[in-house]
Structure formats: C-alpha cells, structure tokens
Amino acid sequence: MKLFINHPFHYEAENLTRLFFPLEKITVIKLNFGEALTASPENENYIYSTLNEVNGEYKVRAYVNINGKELTAERDVQRQIASGFFLSAEKGSALRDEAEMQMAEVLFKALSEITGYTPPWGMLTGVRPSKLMRSLLNEMGEGAVDYFKKKLFVSDKKTRLLYSIVKRQQGIIDLSVPSSYSLYVSIPFCPTRCEYCSFVSHSITSFKKKIPEYIELLIKELELISSVAKDLGLRLETVYFGGGTPTSLNESELYTLADAVARLFPLDSVMEYTIEAGRPDTLNEEKLNIMKAAGVSRISINPQTFSDEVLKGIGRCHTAQQTVDAFYMARQAGFDNINMDLITNLPYDTPDGFMDSLNKTLELDPESITVHSLALKRSSALAAAVRDKQEWEAPVYENAYAALENKGYLPYYLYRQSKSAGNRENTGFSKKGFESAYNIYMMEETHTVLAAGAGGVSRLKEPNGEFIDRIFNYKYPYEYISGFEEILERKKGIKTFYEKYPHCN
C-alpha cells in the first residue's frame, strides 16, 4: 500500500494507516506542499493525505482508494493552525500538535468509514496510553475521560479500563522519590526461539561458549552502574532480570550473577526483585533455591497456553504439565509472588482453547496474570497463520477480563504493541497488593531505569519533571562483547545527566 503525504506528519499518518491494515507493507511517499497526485498507482491500494490551499483557504483532506472503492474526507483548517503543518513550525508546539491532530482525525474517519471498522483504541497509536491518561487527568481532571472518547475516539470500555489502571497505579508511583531508580539486567538467551518472539533473544546452546565472557562483562557494567548510582545518591527501588529467559543460565552462572547484584547493590531498599523464569523447562530446585537465597521476591512462569499442540506449533519445547510442575516446585521453594503470562490468538489455538488455558491458570492461583495480544510480524509464517483469526479477539478479551476480575484479579498496567492482533493490548492483572512496581515504573516512565546487558536501554528521568533521556547498549550479545568499551563510555552519560539536577532528593 502506498501512502502519499504533503505534510510533515508522516510518522503519525503511517501508524494510523497501520491500525487498519496491520499486515500490509506501507510505503510512504513524501510530496511537496501543495503538490497534487499526478498519477494513481495501478492495481494497488493507496491513500493520499494532504493539506491544500485554495484561494487563501486551507483544507486538510484524506483520499482513500481500497480495492477500487474510493472515499474522500476533509475539513477546513484555520490559517493559524495551518501554519503548524509547515516544517518550520517548532516541534512540540501547540500549533503543530493541533495541526497533527486535525490531519489524524480526517485520515482516521476516512479509513474507519471505508473499512467499516473503528479500532477500540481509536486514534491512539502509542505504546503507553495509560501514561497519556495520567497526564491528561493531571491537566484537565475528569475531563480527560471525555477527551479520550470524543476527541481520540477511544471506546468507552477501553477508556474506563485505562482510568481504573491509572487510579490503581497511583499509590505505587507515590512510593517513588526523585532519586529513585530501577535496575534492569538483560539475559537475552532462551532454550529455543519462540515463533512469535520479537525480543532480542538467542538460543543458549548456540551462544554457550560465549556465556562466561558475557557474564564477566555484564558484571563489570553492573559495577559501573552501582558506583555511579552510589556517587549520585540514587535509591534502588526494584530489580528486574529480563530477556530472553534468565533462567536459561546454568546454576553456576545464575549464582554468579545473582551474587554480584547482591554484592554491588543495596538490596535493603528494594521493594521488589523479579527474575523472569518464563520457560518452565529452564527451572529446577537448585535454581529456585539460588534465586530465593539471593533475595528474589517475584518470578514469572509463563505457560502462554496449556495446549501441548499449540506449544509445539509456536516452538516451545515443553509441555503444559511441565508448567504445572514448575509452578508447584516454585511454591515449594517459598515463592509467594508468581506471575504467569498467556497469549491470545496463537496459531492452532481457538477461543475455547484460550479460555481453557486461562481457567487452568486460575486454578493454579498465581498472584498475577498477564494477558498478551499476539503481536503480528508482517510476512512471517506466524502472521499468515493468524491472519484469518482476528475476529475472535474482542470477545476473548472481554470474557478473559471478566473471568479474571471475578477471581479477584484487577488490571494494574497496560501497554500496546505495533501490529498486535485485533489492535488489542497487553494487560497485567494482579491480586491486591501484588502489583509489579517495576512494570509500573518502567511502562509509565515515572523514574529512572538503569539497564545492563545486550539490548538494554537506560531511561534517565528528569527529577521532578517529564524529560527522559536514553542511553542504548548494543543490541546483540556479540556486539555487546566486541563493543563493550564503548558501552562503558556511554554509561558516563548517567552522571552527566544527573549533574544537571544537583538537588534531586
């Protein structure tokens, strides 16, 4: 599909188009201001989003041609607002924001009408809708609810979901002070790579010879982070080992890393220490005891599904029974805060199959359950397998959310991914008192997260402000090893950032 535009908002226009055509390859073609489309693409769907001036009057228009069906939507634009369309307008200015909003509204209405589909999240394309809700509630009070429904076209159900999440998060966010931070440790390895995975993860077997070197360098990076955080007077609130599957490491490797964290960081201030143990085939009693002794308070054991057929189809080399066994093994080791993930819309799965998996998860009675919507990868075999299954997404979510709430699980955090099946969301549910602080802090970007390891992104949050700076590690493990000195150099940016705010306590 071709998307022609003659304004600077190509990113938003492309993302809006993708809401309606998640599996299409979208090619953006930029035109000069006022430039007309001289020739229509033959035998191809296309969209033309423009701002035009006619006799001193401005109009924003969207012309859509989908499978031979044509539709045009337009609206008049005040001259002052029209100035926000020009590249010379200051990015982030009120004029530019309103100009972008008017372009998006016209394009959204045209796409919605021609497809006969209104996305439940309306015009929202960002990862963090709850962060926007929180910001607007602070700015306009309860008027934010009407803004979401009437201006952004978000459904009443999704608006109410966001509102409840934001209200529930506030108590945990209030525990964080300007000097707070979380530590993220990246272990980007798994026993095998799942077909749906979009994370930077590698087979632990293929990288096995390099694991000792990776851990050695990772500990050196942790030493630097610890030293800088101490010098700056930062307070550690949560620790999170993610990946990948950190428990892919063998017992000795896991002990070495957990011991380094205990040695380098003041864990007495930590309210939550999580290690992702998502693959049940990576767990045993020794690893669980190592984590428990190290102070880990929360783990994830992720079934994704309780169907052995579906597990095999998505490339997970374990059975549903192994998930059950791992769960009870963790309980025996003393873990009283366990999260379990499920994914909707998996290939070979059905709505009834998913609800069966959810019911089996509820029978285990973990402290939290996260419901993920499968994120589709265009042109992948997995995307093709689920292309015709999106119609069961909406009722499955409604039924699942109702079942969870009936069992005392309430939604506490939410995020969205590009190309998710049915334009849905990923929602974390927990029993009261078992909300993951790290998930809230990270997703709502309410304090600094310092990240170590391949693919880690440190997010530096301005104390008492909203500005966020980022420091990126190299994405892949081999790059991380070969470019390690550069990573240490980049980490100096933490101190440089905080030196701008000498009174962050």
Distance CA 36, CA 38 (A): 6
* Torsion 29-34-38-44 (CA) sign: positive
Mean pLDDT split into 10-residue runs, the chain, 505 residues: 90 92 87 76 87 80 91 85 61 77 94 93 93 96 96 96 97 94 94 56 72 97 98 97 93 97 96 94 97 97 94 86 97 98 90 96 98 69 52 76 97 87 87 98 96 97 93 95 97 94 64
Pairing of strands 410-415, 426-430: antiparallel
**Alpha carbons 433 and 439: distance in angstroms, whole number:** 14
Cα radius of gyration (the chain): 24
67-73 contacts, C-beta under 8 A, 24 or more apart: 69/114, 71/110, 71/113, 71/114, 72/110, 73/106, 73/107, 73/109, 73/110, 73/113
Whether 243 contacts 186, CB under 8 Å: yes
Q: Which residue has the tokens 């940016």?
A: 493
Residue 294 CB neighbours (<10 A): 19
pLDDT of residue 48: 93
CA distance readout (Å), 199 to 94, 195, 253, 375, 476: 36, 11, 22, 11, 11
CA angle (32, 111, 414) in 5-degree steps: 105
Dist CA 106 CA 112 (whole Å): 10
Q: Do the two domains 1-117 and 298-336+338-433 of this chain adopt the same fold?
A: no
- Write down the CATH number for the domain with range 298-336+338-433: 3.30.750.200
Q: What is the pLDDT of residue 389?
A: 47
pLDDT at 390: 52
Residue 87 confidence (pLDDT)? 46
Domain boundaries, the chain: 1-117, 119-174, 298-336+338-433
Query: For position 377, what pLDDT does the model report?
Result: 58
Q: How far from chain centre, in Å, is Cα 337?
A: 22
CATH 3.30.160.100 given to domain 1-117: yes
**DSSP string across 64-117:** EEETTEEEEEEEEE-HHHHGGGSTTSPTT-HHHHHHHHHHHHHHHHHHHHHHT-
